[in-house]
Amino acid sequence: MTVRCDNYQFPSQLDRMKRFEKPLKNFETKELHGLSFGRLEGEKDDKLDDSFFPTNSIVKLFQGKFNYVLSPKGGGKSAVFRALKDNLIRLPKNFFDYEKYSIVGVNQAFGFDSNYLQLDKFKETTNRKSYTMAWAVYILGELIKDIKKNYSDKPNYSEFLMKIKKIGDFKEQFQLYNIFDFINKLSVGLSFNVGGQPIEVTPKIKWAAKKEPLILNEIFSTVNDYYKSNNLTALILIDRLDNFVRKESYHIQKNYIQGLIDCIEELSTLSNISPLLFIRTDLFYAFDIDFEYDKLKERVQELNWQDGETLNFIIYRLLANKYIQENYSEYFRYIINEGFKGGHRHHFEKERSVWRKLMFWKKDNSGRLDLKRTIDYTIAEKYIRLFFPEFIDEGVAGKKEFCNWIFDNLEDANNFVNPRLLIYFFNELIKAQIDCNNRLRMNAPKEIVVLAQPSYYHFGIFSQEIFPEVYKRVQNDELRNIHKILKDKEFQTVFKDINERTIKRNTFSFGDVNIKKLNIEKDKYERLLKYLNLLGYIKEVDKQTYQVPKLFQFRMTLQTMD
């Protein structure tokens, strides 16, 4: 079966490129069954080892001292967490040198299958100071555990043990929710100074012999000095916080996050202990957390993706497939070589996978790495055309070039194309095409013939007919995700009202929603709109006028669409 494309006038610089001389192998349709863009959870993504690349915002993360990494749900936080923890970061040593860090991962405490999670232990009366203290004790235990496990061979280890002996092996006896049970068993008070203000917790049981309280700041200083004397920085990676608090009340969520941030702020003053919290953007901003933002903002890094980096993401996921890398990576290198002739530098760096991953880099006058255009947008677009349609037919609206269609249809209100959404969309596209091929049965080709256009090659792997059905399913699932995140019944009711209003038009006004009829107070309605903005569902384009992107202009159903 030969698949033909419409004629298209390409940019003149592409027309001048030389023809790729080596014949390309036709694409075997059975290979679709083995093609995957990965798993939706970064911690479990089996494609991450072969496809992780540092975006500009990730590179910036290693060029300064940051304590907070923000992104929307599915925006790449857990992928960066895992990349750091599993040694997947591929940057020159002057930007990130693993040998200088001891990486302490804190994410198991937030899994629903973990013994740390006993929701009945949390009470509305628990205040932020108790959570701050609990976090301090927990993180201190993780650091001592790291030293005992990984750095007991250092010459000053015995001296270190002597200094911390009074707290013993308390880590094994402590869990995040039982600070009061813990100090009663320890029969000693705890003190932790945060921003110069002391937080103290004392046991309910009074012992005849008065014991000197443990001052956590002194123990942290001892731990910090041990890392410093051994030329190490403890990089504490904290992830999956949203999994832990998502079913809790607003009050508990706020205090829990507030306590952690209070703890991080105190630890960030230490020279060789560097806490790094990966947290959803909406959780960070939506709770009116009490902090001095002017002091904090320089240590906050938001993960974002430029258009070229989003196309890179698609290419790297394609090249993580063994069949594609063996048969079409040489064509990819050809496109790169042709596109970057004329002064652009590039090099291949050998990695764990059998193919050699490309990393483009150049230095400005300050010596900083510049990955704003990891692969030029136009070059990336040309390789993507090998596998995906040149255009998407939008009916009466005409045709739209495929990469433009991706951005127009998958961007949220903050102009962000979520990596997890891309994985989901392309995986669904692959499944839909396999189903389509199965329906064709005898008429389905065993291989797709490669066609040569004026300056590129193209397979007709994906049928136009599958795009509308896949896109509708993706739209509905994204709306259902927002509905689930909102949790509050009044929020969900108003959200459904807004959804109905914006199916055929992309804007609504503050007053369009009858809040009296929906039985929601004005201040709570305003809080919802702020939250929906953080989630990328809406953007205020004029005073009290909000725009909804195309991704969410679909009538939501709470049932899964087949």
Residue 530, C-beta contacts closer than 8 angstroms, at least 6 positions apart? 286
Residue with more model confidence, 19 or 350: 19
pLDDT (tens digit per residue) in 86-120:
888 777 777 788 889 999 988 765 544 344 444 45
3-state SS of 363-401 is ECCCCCECCCCCCCHHHHHHHHCCCCCCEEECHHHCEEE
Dist. CA 314–CA 316, nearest whole Å: 6
**Mean predicted confidence (pLDDT) in 131-136:** 84
How long a stretch of residues is the chain?
562
Q: Is the pLDDT of residue 369 over 50?
A: no
Query: What are the structure tokens assigned to 423, written together?
Result: 């994985």
What tens digit of pLDDT does each residue of 171-221 get? 454 555 556 666 666 667 778 888 778 777 776 656 555 566 778 899 999
Give the DSSP letter string of 111-125: -TTSTT--GGG--TT
Helix, strand, coil percentages for the chain (3-state, nearest 5)? 45, 15, 40
Confirm if 458 and 20 have CB atoms less than 8 A apart. Answer: no
Q: H/E element holding 102?
A: strand 101-106
Mean pLDDT of 29-35: 94
- Looking up tokens 């919290």 gives 277
Q: Please say if the pLDDT value at position 436 is more than 70.
A: yes
> CA 134, CA 175: separation in Å to the nearest integer?
8
Residues of the chain with pLDDT > 90, as a percent, come to: 41
pLDDT at 206: 60
Its pTM surpasses 0.75: yes
3-state secondary structure of 257: helix
Contact 255, 128 (CB under 8 A): yes
pLDDT band, residue 367 (cuts 50/70/90): very low
What lies within 8 Å, CB to CB, of 418 at 6+ separation is 72, 73, 74, 75, 410, 412
pLDDT in tens, 461-500: 999 999 999 999 999 999 999 999 888 899 999 999 999 9
Tell me if residue 252 falls in helix, strand or coil: helix
Write the single-letter amino acid at 409.
N
Query: What was the pLDDT predicted at 178?
Result: 54
- Residue 379's pLDDT is 80
- The sign of the dihedral angle between the CA atoms of 45, 48, 54, 56 is negative
pLDDT attached to residue 556? 96
The pLDDT value recorded for residue 388 is 94
- Is residue 129 helix, strand or coil? helix
3-state secondary structure 236-262: EEECCHHHHHCCCCHHHHHHHHHHHHH
- Given a cut of 80, is residue 383 above it in pLDDT? yes
Q: What percent of the chain has pLDDT over 70?
A: 76
Helices vs. strands in the chain: H and E counts, helices first: 20, 19
What pLDDT was estimated at residue 198?
A: 78
* pLDDT tops 50 at residue 71: yes
Backbone angles phi, psi at 399, to 5 degrees: -110, 150
Residue 140 has which token pair? 């201190």
Beta bridge partners of 235: 103, 274
| Amino acid code (one letter) for 505 | R
Q: What is the pLDDT of residue 2?
A: 30
Cβ-based neighbours of 110, under 8 Å, separated by 6 or more:
116, 117, 239, 240, 241, 243, 244
User: What is the distance, to the nearest Å, from the Cα of residue 227 to the centroid of all Cα atoms in its chain?
Assistant: 29
Comparing CA positions, the residue from 402, 138, 401, 432 lying closest to residue 259 is 138
